[in-house]
Amino acid sequence: MTIGDLVRWVGNLSAWWLVPVALLLVWNWFARESPPVLDADDIADTVAGAVVASLRAPPHVNET
């Protein structure tokens, strides 16, 4: 292994883990700048609304 091979290996290794770190930093920046689309309360309200709507739904046409 030459010095050039070592430099290339370290360069490839650093490029491999820098991409996910950069993506996480970008994700964090966008998450800080904009509010979340749905939070836990919105999701719970949506699920509860779907359950209540399914319980109140009329029976299917083919059911007697």
- Domain membership of residue 26 (yes or no) is yes
The two tokens of residue 25 are 């930093």
Which structural domain range is residue 52 located in? Answer: 3-56
- Domain membership of residue 44 (yes or no) is yes
Model confidence pLDDT, tens digit, residues 5-30? 877 777 776 666 667 777 788 887 77
- Separation between Cα atoms, residue 23 and residue 28, nearest integer Å: 9
Residue 16, pLDDT score: 64
DSSP 21-62: HHHHHHHHHHHHHS--SS-HHHHHHHHHHHHHHHHHSPPPTT
Asked if residue 50 has pLDDT above 70, the reply is yes
- Domain membership of residue 34 (yes or no) is yes
Q: What are phi and psi of 38, to 5 degrees?
A: -130, 135
Domain count for the chain, please give it.
1
